[in-house]
Chains A and B, each alone.
Chain A
Amino acid sequence: MRSIRWLAVVPFLALIVGPFFVNRATPLILGLPFLLAWIVAWILLTSIIMAVIYAADPANREREP
């Protein structure tokens, strides 16, 4: 399951490379300019990705002292 950690690369691609493809004001998504909506969407998705990585990481199964 350690390969799931590679999901962490995705937010970097989305937020560093992604803007080159979505630098536009329209269409507005939920009232937000498209570029801003893209960034906000990826913040939400990043949180989900981190939750998946956390759940799959055996290091988190050890009991706290």
Chain B
Amino acid sequence: MNGALPFIAAAALLALALGFLARRGKDMNLEQWTVGGRGFGSVFVFLLLAGEIYTTFTFLGGSGFAYGKGAPAYYILAYGTLAYVLSYFLLPPIWRYAKDNRLYSQSDFFVHKYDSPTLGVIVALVDIVALIPYLVLQFKGLGIIVDIAGYGAISSTLAIWIGAIIVAAYVMVSGVHGSAWTSVAKDTMILVIVVFLGIYLPIHYYGGLGPMFTAIDQAKPGFTVLPPHGQSLWWFSSTVLLTALGFYMWPHSFGSIYTARSAKVIRQNTIVLPLYQLILLFVFFVGFAATLQVPGLTGSDIDLALFKLSVKTFDPWFVGVIGATGVLTALVPGSMILMTAATLIANNLYRAVNPSADDVQVSRLAKLLVPLVALVAVFFTLKGGETIVALLLMGYSFVTQLFPALVLSLAHRNFATREGAMAGIIAGVATVAAISLSGANFHKLAWLPPQVQDLNIGIVALAVNFIVLIVVSLAMRLSAEPARAAAE
């Protein structure tokens, strides 16, 4: 037993208690369980959106990115902000359509817009393949945090099992209500802890932000600006644009829009969410403070920067408080992902083969699938090696492939046909997989100008997707014309 463990255990118990309490007074049918009865106001919608964005990636990866790479980490600040701007125009029509047609998942949206359950199955499969590695990442982060912040008293394997059981339990009982309630605890803690660390550490070690960045610039010239090659300005701009488009294509983010009570709630959030992004700034400060204080971490170990520096700086009890915050940043997004994946399997895969299944059956199946999906994720966390990392890198690019078909479907007269949408998504996903698995990038094409070499390769997949979508849609429309004329 040490000073840190009680705090970490308290965080886990708090999440469990809040998660169970969230159920009170609600009849947990599918509509309540997965989209909160479409009754959430600004605060809960904010917490859900923020809850999904500020994950273990933010906590460990954000500080690790700044620690290991410096300025390229800024892209995380920029793309989120632009995604919120887009969302002002993009999300209200999606919300309205989902409400009018009583949709539960992102896949449902495509099923209805394109009148095609098959397209729904394709979207659901893309979603699930992207979601599972994302869940694995949360569990992995949880294991690392408990291991380091608990000073090794609890192994990461045990921590992952406990975390998975807690999340699965409260998701089964309370669904999205559980995620919203636990978000309250998580976001309060992350706000207080991260802002404190981001202000205290630079002052403690350097005497302030200015002296810290001056010291870094002297020790590592060019670390706080984008480098001329590699993760250069061209990389930055193309990555910001691409990830801003993909942002709301994550099925759990997309689904949390459905919980809103009105379109106004969503628009209000686009004012506050950019400001909330600034929490990341303090995460970066921690990473920058660590570069000169705990140097030498390389490879995936850069993600340990925040905790290495914390352990060096603070008493065990306070490391425990930081660890407790970290545990919550894993559990809350984990719960959303788990619920979304279970809903997709039950509602869009099972229902596609069993069209006669009613909401009660689908709801029961979704809840039963929760522990199963958690188990699969735990398995990959403990056994999966490099494959899972590769999948994770692909995940964001996978869901981004849903963007063209989605945006076109919002137009009054949708140019894209269902065949076009399917072919585009499949072509885009195949391109992402081919590029990622072969390790291709523009740098291998030495004849390209250096600016083009630095562009994010994901742009290729999106372009392929778009072109295939247009060509196939056009072909279907042209071949449909004579048939229609003959019918008349």
Cβ of A32 and Cβ of B209 under 8 Å apart?
yes
The stretch among B4-12, B273-281, B293-301 that forms the contact with chain A is B273-281
Contacts of A8 in B (CB 8 A): 85, 88-89
Q: How far is the CB of A60 from chain B (nearest CB, A)?
A: 5
**B236 interface contact, C-beta 8 A:** yes
- CB nearest to B237 among chain A residues: A16
Count contacts on A: residues with CB < 8 A to the other chain.
Answer: 38
- Which of B212, B222, B263 is the most central at the interface, judged by chain A CB atoms within 10 Å of its CB? B263
Contacts of A64 in B (CB 8 A): 261-262, 264
- Select one of B208, B224, B241 contacting A36, CB under 8 A: B224
Cβ of A35 and Cβ of B226 under 8 Å apart?
yes
**B240 interface contact, C-beta 8 A:** yes
Cβ of A50 and Cβ of B270 under 8 Å apart?
yes
Cβ of A15 and Cβ of B81 under 8 Å apart?
yes
**B84 interface contact, C-beta 8 A:** yes
- CB nearest to B206 among chain A residues: A31
Count contacts on B: residues with CB < 8 A to the other chain.
Answer: 42
Task: Give the complex CA separation of A36 and B270 in angstroms.
Answer: 22
Mask of B74-91 contacts with A, CB within 8 angstroms, 1/0: 100110011011001100
Contact A17 to B262, CB < 8 A, known contacts A11-B85, A46-B85, A47-B271: no
Cβ of B82 and Cβ of A31 under 8 Å apart?
no
Mask of B212-239 contacts with A, CB within 8 angstroms, 1/0: 1110010000101110000001001100
Contacts of A49 in B (CB 8 A): 85
Contact A51 to B271, CB < 8 A, known contacts A24-B225, A35-B224, A60-B264: yes
**B168 interface contact, C-beta 8 A:** no
- CB nearest to A61 among chain B residues: B264
- Which of A26, A39, A64 is the most central at the interface, judged by chain B CB atoms within 10 Å of its CB? A39
Q: How far is the CB of A59 from chain B (nearest CB, A)?
A: 7
**B152 interface contact, C-beta 8 A:** no
Which of B235-266 touch A at CB < 8 Å?
236-237, 240-241, 261-264
Q: How many A-B residue pairs have CB under 8 A?
A: 111
Mask of A40-63 contacts with B, CB within 8 angstroms, 1/0: 101110110111011001011010
Contacts of A19 in B (CB 8 A): 226, 233, 236-237
Q: How far is the CB of A24 from chain B (nearest CB, A)?
A: 6
Cβ of B213 and Cβ of A33 under 8 Å apart?
yes
Task: Give the complex CA separation of A8 and B83 in angstroms.
Answer: 11
Contact A40 to B278, CB < 8 A, known contacts A33-B225, A46-B81: yes
- CB nearest to B277 among chain A residues: A43
Task: Give the complex CA separation of A25 and B71 in angstroms.
Answer: 10
**B210 interface contact, C-beta 8 A:** yes
**A30 interface contact, C-beta 8 A:** yes
Q: How far is the CB of B265 from chain A (nearest CB, A)?
A: 8
Contacts of A46 in B (CB 8 A): 81, 84-85, 274
Contacts of A32 in B (CB 8 A): 209, 213
Task: Give the complex CA separation of A5 and B270 in angstroms.
Answer: 13
Cβ of A11 and Cβ of B270 under 8 Å apart?
no
**B267 interface contact, C-beta 8 A:** yes
**B191 interface contact, C-beta 8 A:** no
**B272 interface contact, C-beta 8 A:** yes
Cβ of B240 and Cβ of A15 under 8 Å apart?
yes
Q: How far is the CB of B80 from chain A (nearest CB, A)?
A: 9
Task: Give the complex CA separation of A43 and B82 in angstroms.
Answer: 9
Can you identify 5 A-B contacts, CB atoms within 8 angstroms? A15-B78, A15-B81, A40-B77, A46-B274, A47-B271
- Interface residues of chain B, those whose CB is within 8 Å of chain A, are 71, 74, 77-78, 81-82, 84-85, 88-89, 92, 208-210, 212-214, 217, 222, 224-226, 233, 236-237, 240-241, 261-264, 267-268, 270-272, 274-275, 277-278, 281, 284
**Shortest Cβ-Cβ A-B pairs, 5 listed:** A31-B209, A31-B210, A33-B224, A15-B78, A47-B274
Known A20-B237, A46-B84; 9 more pairs at CB < 8 Å: A8-B88, A12-B82, A15-B240, A26-B217, A35-B71, A43-B277, A49-B85, A50-B84, A59-B263
